[in-house]
Amino acid sequence: MPLKKLVFFYASQTISQLLNHNNLNKSQNLKLPSLEITDWSKFKHRGMLLDCCRHFFSVATIKKYLRLMSYYKMNILHWHLTEDQGWRIAIDKYPNLITKGAYRNDNNKTYGGYYSKSEMKEIVKYAKSLKINIIPEIEMPGHSQAAIAAYPHLSCTGKAYEVANDWGVFKEIYCAGNDSVFTFLESVLNEVIEIFPYEYIHIGGDEAPKYRWENCKKCQKRIAENNLRDEHELQSYFIKRISEFLKSKGKSIIGWDEILEGGLAKNAIVQSWRGTKGGIEAARSGNKVIMSPTSHAYFDYGIKTTNLEKVYSFKPLPSELSNDERKLIIGGECNVWTEHIYNEEELDSKVFPRLLAMAEVLWTNKNESDFDDFKKRLQYHYPILKIKGVDYGIEVLPCKIDVELKNKKLNIKLVKGSNDLELKYKWRNITNYIKYSENSLIENNSGDLIVQAFKAGKTYGDTISQPFKFHKAVAKTTYYNKEYSPSYPANNETSLTDAKLGTLEFRDGNWQGFWDTNIDCTIDLKEITKIEKIKTRFYQYNNSWIFFPKTINYKTSVDSLNWTKWNEVSNKQQPKDRGKIIQEFISKNSKTKARYINIQTHRLEKVPNWHEAAGSKTWLFLDEIIVE
């Protein structure tokens, strides 16, 4: 597109914003302030990924988001169209992709949908009018169970599979040793190219377990015939073969940073999501890079993990790179995965107002973040978003429910997310809220503490709940013989005796994680105490490599020198069980008096075979050691 036309378009968007800001009161005469603006974009690629596979969104919703992106000068829609849980793009040559692959069984109900070619062409044309390019993502070789369900011969086994109805990583991937797979993908991509004219096609390349390839004669033959070292080089062969095909069609590929493994195609663009390390490596190899690290750019994450200020602090250009290498960073994206986003209202609340922070970062690339100034300007956009039909969310977690040790006693305190908020609290079994001030003393109680924040007299965000369990070991000292991971420290050395119980959200700040090690810790109760029961609460979510221990051994001592075995408790849950699960391991012995309690875990020897991407390494997550 001619530069003059593009400059004029973005200038018109600025004028549109000024008109909207200054004319909210419709009864007044039209106002447009007199001013001079010097403005230009710092990055070529200013994108948003929208996953329409886990949950399907209508053409009207897509168009709404295109209008909003254009208004805030975003210019790329990265449209995620194929997944384990649904194939969303009509392909004439392979009708089963939509008759079979577009629908899944959710709680005995059929869920799904797809976009016809005419609908996609309509969306592409509409996006072009808004100066937005659309990059379709056609996942390969992993995240392909929906396609395999439609055409089983595409897998290593040839067996019949269903479209996945759960989230996570699945071992059914395209067979890299079967030439008919490449025939299928090339035919699909030919039809994709007809619909999407932009120069890039995203081919995924992430989270592709190698279990099937390791046990597939055709894949092993491919490795031998091409002198490949292992299955990682086989994936590189797969990606490079697709890359060469698309290059012959005048297209370049984009892939997630896993495409670095085994060797990178020369013309491939790397989208760095597992932090910025992959992007740095790609840029140093001479490849172009899109930055979208989970730390700042994943809008499916809750506001507790990634609040507005965190997004605004995003710096797409790593300081580790030279000036020439930085030129290979073409921009960034905010990613919206929709496993837990069921409708447009939830989508709005996840994306906004965080999209405005990302839009400004990618447009200006400020070296220093002036978040206070941005936040002040942002307030004027909320009425505009409301007019545009956006059910926007909150900027920050309204409140953090914390504990502190004072005079050998544990006190509950509330920490406001922002100074302009007012907090009220109650215990679940109490009707009336109590206003909280910094001098308030919340009475320690076992149960759920409920907090509601208010801003300008109106409720701000949902209520926040924190389960507490007060017991004999609360506020006592824990000694770690095996260290917890700095990635999941929870409340550090006080975490296992702070009375705070974890929820089914393992990122809630209450679960302490141990990576590739057993747990071995000792609690000092400070005095000899009668002990009747010990409970340890563990967490399992095998999608994230978190598993229950195989067994837990408890020992007690009065002097920390001589130890008595208390009990051994075994896991009752299968490691293959899907979903987020909390299990309480309970051991009883009513005749014990002791000062010290030692807890040791024994890890599982084998985990489900789709987890080989992490090797044998897994997590143990523990939130509290309850002594009664």
Query: How do the domains of the chain map onto residue ranges?
Result: 1-40, 397-467, 469-628
Q: How many angstroms separate the CA atoms of 369 and 74, rounded?
A: 19
| Residue 426: C-alpha distances to residues 400, 404, 405, 418, 459 (Å) | 15, 19, 21, 20, 15
Chain centroid to CA 590: 45
Closest CA to 536 of 611, 493, 586, 469: 586
Residues in Cβ contact with 444 at an 8 Å cutoff, skipping those fewer than 6 apart = 410, 411, 412, 468, 470, 499
Indicate the pairing of strand 551-557 with strand 581-602: antiparallel
Q: What is the pLDDT of residues 532-588, one digit of tens each?
A: 999 999 999 988 889 999 999 999 999 999 999 988 999 998 888 888 999 999 998
As a whole number, mean pLDDT of residues 276-299 equals: 96
Long-range contact list for 184-190, CB < 8 A, 24+ apart? 184/94, 184/147, 184/151, 184/154, 185/138, 185/140, 185/242, 186/245, 187/91, 187/93, 187/94, 188/91, 188/93, 188/94, 188/97, 188/138, 189/138, 189/242, 189/245, 189/246, 189/249, 190/249
- Residue 299 has a pLDDT of 98
CATH assignment of 469-628? Answer: 2.60.120.1190
Q: How many angstroms separate the CA atoms of 121 and 123, rounded?
A: 5
Q: Does position 615 have pLDDT exceeding 60, yes or no?
A: no
Return the higher-pLDDT residue of 563 and 410: 563
Residue with tokens 């690290």: 293
- Residue 22 has a pLDDT of 76
CATH assignment of 397-467? Answer: 2.60.40
Q: How many angstroms separate the CA atoms of 182 and 194, rounded?
A: 18
Q: How many angstroms separate the CA atoms of 33 and 18, rounded?
A: 8
CB half-sphere exposure, 171, CA atoms < 13 A:
16
Q: Does position 613 have pLDDT exceeding 60, yes or no?
A: no
Q: Does position 29 have pLDDT exceeding 90, yes or no?
A: no
Q: How many angstroms separate the CA atoms of 455 and 461, rounded?
A: 9
Residues in Cβ contact with 108 at an 8 Å cutoff, skipping those fewer than 6 apart = none
First to last CA, the chain: 71
Chain centroid to CA 502: 19
Inter-residue contact 489 to 495 (CB < 8 Å): yes
Inter-residue contact 168 to 160 (CB < 8 Å): no
Question: Burial, 161: exposed, middle or buried (Cβ in 10 Å; 0-12, 13-18, 19+)?
Answer: middle
Dmax of the chain from CA atoms?
A: 86
Q: How does DSSP assign 116-181, residue by residue?
A: -HHHHHHHHHHHHHTT-EEEEEEEESSS-HHHHHH-GGGSSS----PPP-S-S--S----TT-HHH
- Residue 405 has a pLDDT of 81
Q: Does position 151 have pLDDT exceeding 90, yes or no?
A: yes
The radius of gyration of the chain from alpha carbons, rounded to an integer in Å, stands at 27
- Residue 614 has a pLDDT of 45
Q: How many angstroms separate the CA atoms of 74 and 111, rounded?
A: 31
Q: What is the pTM of this model?
A: 0.89
- Residue 609 has a pLDDT of 63
Q: Does position 373 have pLDDT exceeding 70, yes or no?
A: yes
As a whole number, mean pLDDT of residues 148-157 equals: 98
As a whole number, mean pLDDT of residues 354-381 equals: 91
As a whole number, mean pLDDT of residues 221-234 equals: 96
- Residue 184 has a pLDDT of 98
As a whole number, mean pLDDT of residues 187-194 equals: 98
Place 354 in a pLDDT band, splitting at 50, 70 and 90: very high
Q: Does position 398 have pLDDT exceeding 80, yes or no?
A: yes
Identify the three-state secondary structure at position 281: helix
As a whole number, mean pLDDT of residues 499-526 equals: 95
b/e per residue 384-409 (b: at least 16 CB within 10 A)? ebeeeebebbbbbbbbebebeeeeee
- The kind and range of the H/E element at 426 are strand 421-427
Place 26 in a pLDDT band, splitting at 50, 70 and 90: low
Q: Does position 508 have pLDDT exceeding 70, yes or no?
A: yes
Q: What is the pLDDT of residues 96-137, one digit of tens each?
A: 999 999 999 988 899 999 999 999 999 999 999 999 999 999
Q: Does position 455 have pLDDT exceeding 80, yes or no?
A: yes
Lowest mean per-residue pLDDT among 109-113, 443-447, 606-610: 606-610
Q: What is the pLDDT of the chain when averaged over all its residues?
A: 92
Q: What percent of the chain has pLDDT over 70?
A: 97
- Residue 611 has a pLDDT of 53
As a whole number, mean pLDDT of residues 351-376 equals: 92
Q: Does position 346 have pLDDT exceeding 70, yes or no?
A: yes
Indicate the pairing of strand 252-256 with strand 200-204: parallel
As a whole number, mean pLDDT of residues 433-458 equals: 90
Q: How many angstroms separate the CA atoms of 397 and 460, rounded?
A: 10
Supply the DSSP symbol for 257: G
Place 19 in a pLDDT band, splitting at 50, 70 and 90: confident
Q: Does position 5 have pLDDT exceeding 80, yes or no?
A: no
Torsion of CA 418, 421, 422, 427, to 10 degrees: -60
Q: How many residues are present in the chain?
A: 628
Place 590 in a pLDDT band, splitting at 50, 70 and 90: confident
Identify the three-state secondary structure at position 356: helix
Q: What is the pLDDT of residues 30-43, one digit of tens each?
A: 778 888 888 888 99
Q: How many angstroms separate the CA atoms of 596 and 484, rounded?
A: 20
- Residue 27 has a pLDDT of 64
